Amino acid sequence: MMKNIIETDSLHFEEHVLKSPGPVVVYFYSDHCLPCLTFDSIFKRVAASKETVRFVRIFRPHNRQLAEQYGVKSSPTLMFFNNREEVCRRLTGYISYTEFKESVEKLDTRTCPPAERGTVYSDVLIIGAGPAGLTAAIYTARSRLFTVVLESDIPGGQVSTTYQVANYPGINGAVRGIDLAGNMSRQAIDFGARIDDMQEIDEIRLEGTEKYVKTKENDYYAKAVIIATGSEPRKLPVKNERELRGRGIHYCASCDGPFYQDADLIVVGGGISAFEEVLFLARYARKVTMLIRSDTPRAPESYVEDAARNPQVEIMYNTVIKKVLGESFVEGVVLENTKTGGTIEMKADGIFVYIGSVPNTELFSPWLRLSDNGYIITNETMATNIPGVFAAGDVREKTVRQISTAVGDGTIAGIMAEKYIVLLR
């Protein structure tokens, strides 16, 4: 490692960053992070050309409290410091050599002030960069509409945290979820779409011919809006879930599973996602116990057979978690049989939860018609009750939620948004 590149942690952050006599670049990274793998060589190349700047690497999964303190929600995230103060605009997601080089040049020459609030005008504003949102962006951008995609995290949605996808047409076997998401992002960008990730929305106005969205950094105006915010995992219903979240209770096997080498794990759920992640976790864990609350899994028989054949996997039917044991970290669980009411204790180092999801629609509830379960109601053209506002993917009220159905929704929403804009002219 070069002399001006330092690997640090939360204990040494002040020494290596805040007390540095010169400018500092801070790089939060993770493993199993495709944008990080792409960016690593760029980081080293720029560091080699700038010996007057200190380049600090921080492994985000081992320094979550520090990341939360600075509002870092995804990897990679680049921050720039001068005289204890953060300067420049943060860089996240897929970061190009030119973009990073220019930011470091400004940092080194002390010409990099905090980013000013910006105003962005677009034809189509897409909220959410999962498969539905990215597909819509591919169609609208290819139709020569200036398309901006807003994402609260990094592009990809839930698919980017899925270890592998085997049921998406045309992949000829299986593909890592993060690779599939990366391909979609690059395709949208290649057609001219702009992706603004790490954007937290503060305000939204959807009525009228000019839609408005306000984030921490920018004001966005658009002729049409496509909502593709998806859903988020339903939380494990135990009293200490929040206290133990990230300390043994997890919702992403590909993110946190590798930390549980030779451990005893529990997977809660009986759907496709649960069975997919059980097989992934079995690569690392000593044993994986799958808990299904009924006597019939919701996944197809082929998934059940694959899990049953794995010697490290045990499936327990009619079983739920009544209580999670442990104060600072998960130590075990109390299991309850849903038929008999009987309980037993079981040792566990970690719990991975796949019991469905809830839609990310709270922001839109004052404007849009929602179903009893909180999903956005649309017609077959993905149109909502407000002209020029469309919804696509898992956020929409429908029967089946898969990557392929999200892509189909995004296709329709993109085409219909284009037709709507043509009628405005």
* Predicted pLDDT of residue 400: 82
Is 112 catalytic? The answer is: no
Spot the catalytic one: 33, 153, 255, 409. Answer: 255
- The pLDDT tens digits of the residues spanning 343-359 come to 999 999 999 999 988 99
Predicted confidence (pLDDT) per residue in 245-273, tens digit: 888 999 888 778 888 999 999 999 999 98
**Could you confirm whether 255 is annotated as catalytic?**
yes
Rounded to two decimals, the pTM is 0.66
Structure tokens, 182? 């990366």
**Separation in Å, CA 255 to CA 30, 251, 349:** 9, 9, 16
Q: What is the pLDDT of residue 224?
A: 98
Residue 278: half-sphere exposure toward Cβ, Cα within 13 Å: 32
Q: Which of 256, 349, 394, 409 is catalytic?
A: 256
Residue 115 has pLDDT above 60, yes or no: no
Read off the CATH number of the domain in which 50 is found: 3.40.30.10
Reduced to 3 states (helix: H, G, I; strand: E, B; else coil), residue 219 is: strand
Number of domains in the chain: 3
Tokens standing for residue 260: 């549980």
* Catalytic residue (one of 252, 349, 394, 409): 252
Say whether both 187 and 217 belong to one domain.
yes
Surface-to-core class of residue 236, CB atoms within 10 Å of its CB (0-12 exposed, 13-18 middle, 19+ buried): buried
Among the candidates 62, 87, 108, a domain finishes at 108
Q: Torsions phi, psi of 231, nearest 5?
A: -140, 170
Residue 113 domain-assigned? no
* Same domain assignment for residues 155 and 228: yes
Judge whether residue 316 has pLDDT over 90: yes
* Same domain as 123, residue 228: yes
Which domain covers residue 251, as residue numbers?
A: 241-353
Average pLDDT over residues 282-292: 97
Per-residue pLDDT band for 94 (boundaries 50, 70, 90) equals confident
For residue 287, give the CATH number of its domain. 3.50.50.60
Question: Domain boundary residue among 353, 372, 389?
Answer: 353
Q: Is 196 marked active-site?
A: no
Pair (9, 68) in one structural domain: yes
The pLDDT of 175-193, averaged and rounded, is 89
Give the confidence band of 116 by pLDDT, cuts at 50, 70, 90: low
Q: Verify that 103 and 131 share a domain, yes or no.
A: no
